[in-house]
Amino acid sequence: MPPHRARAFHHNSYGMYTCSTDGVLRARMSTAENPFKPLVHFALLEYTPAGELLLAHRKQHLLLRVPVPQNLDDLAMSVGTTLKGYGHKLTSLKRLCTPMNWLCRTAQPP
């Protein structure tokens, strides 16, 4: 088995957890802590063959790719950096793509 596949990831509303194949907890990121609070809005889809975690936002229909380092002790820093970058990019996209018309009109019957 390739060394990057010898990992298990779990995500719930309390945080994200990573274990090695022998069941040893290697990383824990609590959603109660400030850099990881946005994790509650994401669902873990998969761990890709390229070595990334693929997370899907539950309401905004977007995907977030988190690079997983070789050393799982550095995973919390990688997730925190990615979530921080996500917030800044999302804010800039919202400013760039402002809605033109918020009205929804229905067709009038003849």
pLDDT digits (tens, 9 = 90+) for 48-87: 888 899 999 988 878 899 999 888 889 999 999 999 888 8
Residue 43 pLDDT more than 90? yes
**CA-CA distance, 84 to 90, in Å (whole number)?**
10
Q: Please report which confidence band the pLDDT of residue 96 belongs to, taking 50, 70 and 90 as the band edges.
A: confident
Q: What is the DSSP string of 40-80?
A: GGEEEEEE-TTSEEEEEETTT--EEEEEPPSSGGGHHHHHH
Q: Note the pLDDT of residue 99.
A: 62
The residues spanned by each domain of the chain are 3-96
**How much of the chain exceeds pLDDT 90, in percent?**
39
First to last CA, the chain: 67
Token output for 102: 């918020």
Residue 42 has pLDDT above 70, yes or no: yes
Q: How confident is the model at residue 102 (pLDDT cuts 50, 70, 90)?
A: low
Q: What is the pLDDT of residue 44?
A: 94
